[in-house]
Structure 1
């Protein structure tokens, strides 16, 4: 019996080690579900596309705090494929102008072998939220392409909401909250068409109606549209979309750190909110552990 127990413990420790970066402790305070996008391109107006993915600092900064605090990240996305980093995020400007910090973040993220082959959201949805301490969704434009209408993610977020477990989402990531709408894909189509009557009707039954949310602002998006970065115009603005669904948008000044906490939901406005956002998540986890 002792031999069997020792064998099972070895297997468990090996499984934990496989999803942690080299040098990390195998002792864990709990699992954090890290939801990524599978999208590599964002559809823009006039048939244009922008090559996108996750934003490096929006993933690396909170992830490092979580791991250093003893939490184990479990990555998942719609297709179970390797998420793509937005090349524009590999920039020292998102790390206080410090290129060494940028390089360190890049190396840190690369150590997670489990990020190369995440779980599917469908498999996570079938498990429920009981095995996780929190869910974390980094930004980049990619969530605007797939996460906002992913039915499995909708189920996952509803489970975390019902359990009042920390739900932390930054930058464009909060658009994923729309996945909990009864007909998320139709809501997206109505948004793109500018059909206000339909968006109002389709917003009924939204899980996060009335929640205070911070998200990448239209005023910020307009500054990166066109030649500045995207090469075109987005199909809709995240703050406008969430407001149409029933959220109370609480954004701050453009490109300044801004984090909003409402019940279990923690949202950060844009990349420069990364540190404050991560600290807010850690505070929520600490409060939950008491």
Structure 2
């Protein structure tokens, strides 16, 4: 019964914001509310407010339909540290507007969230979606990188050259398409150099993701903890060609074939603009 209610809520969301000729965008978030660090430590996390809501607001304002999904269909968690005006150029009113829209969507509500599971998305068919968007926050490092369901979805989009946009830590989700993603990431977490995959659908793609330099600068946010590995290193070892800004925390967007990747929180709005351009 609950799954039917969630599906109805998702369809209502699409109908209330969309139009008959609008594009349909699937937004995939993590189920996780924490990231496992080294030495048994954990970091409370989730999605970053601006990384999700700046593109979402732009899509809805342009009349596009959106559907939200997580691997298990659980309501995602907002990383509270991201509810800060600095991620909106210091604009307090912009922060309030995006927070108000998030509240209206009820995305993080365990009872009212319109989020579907990736299994449900697969069951109803990928062809109904024109694009997929994956925001960051540390949470994708916990589950999206190893999600077989997400790997199938992204592989389908890749095969059909359908727009795939990701930002900050979100691009780590591209690893889910590896033949053995769990083994690859386990090697990275063990501190060694992972064996380069013999096959990867994104090998040779130019991408960006939060840089090792930015991760080092932001390390105090881990409160004494240490990440098992950085996403830049992971994507490079998997076979991607990495590109970044020399100036940390400034917007950087890389487009290569169907992929749109953004480097950091400052890149989210520009990723949204490129996504809108593709949907036209």
TM-score, normalization by structure 1: 0.88
- How much does 1:233 deviate? 1.0
Q: Is the 8 A contact 2:144 2:173 kept in 1?
A: yes
Q: Is the 8 A contact 2:10 2:114 kept in 1?
A: no
Matched, 1:233 2:230: no
Helix, strand or coil: the match of 2:25?
strand
- How much does 1:195 deviate? 2.8
> Which residue number in structure 1 is paired with residue 131 of structure 2?
134
Q: Is the 8 A contact 1:28 1:72 kept in 2?
A: no
Matched, 1:274 2:268: yes
Alpha-carbon displacement from aligned partner over 1:105-159 (angstroms, at most 9, x marks no partner): 1011121246614111122233442110100001100000000000000000000
Q: Which has the larger radius of gyration?
A: 1
Helix, strand or coil: the match of 2:152?
helix
Out of 187, 200, 203, the position equivalent to 1:206 is 200
How has the CA–CA distance of structure 1 residues 241 and 61 changed in structure 2, closer, same or farther, with 3 Å as cutoff? same
Q: How does 1:39-188 map to 2 (within 5 A)?
A: 39-113=32-106, 116-188=113-185
Helix, strand or coil: the match of 2:272?
helix
Gaps of 5+ in 1: 1-13
Aligned length: 267
Quote the Cα distance in structure 2 between the aligned partners of 1:161 and 1:52. 29
Helix, strand or coil: the match of 2:140?
helix
Quote the Cα distance in structure 2 between the aligned partners of 1:33 and 1:214. 21
Alpha-carbon displacement from aligned partner over 1:8-50 (angstroms, at most 9, x marks no partner): xxxxxx877621597x455451321000100001011111111
How has the CA–CA distance of structure 1 residues 152 and 29 changed in structure 2, closer, same or farther, with 3 Å as cutoff? same
Quote the Cα distance in structure 2 between the aligned partners of 1:263 and 1:128. 23
- How much does 1:178 deviate? 0.1
> Which residue number in structure 1 is paired with residue 5 of structure 2?
none
Q: Is the 8 A contact 1:53 1:86 kept in 2?
A: yes
TM-score, normalization by structure 2: 0.91
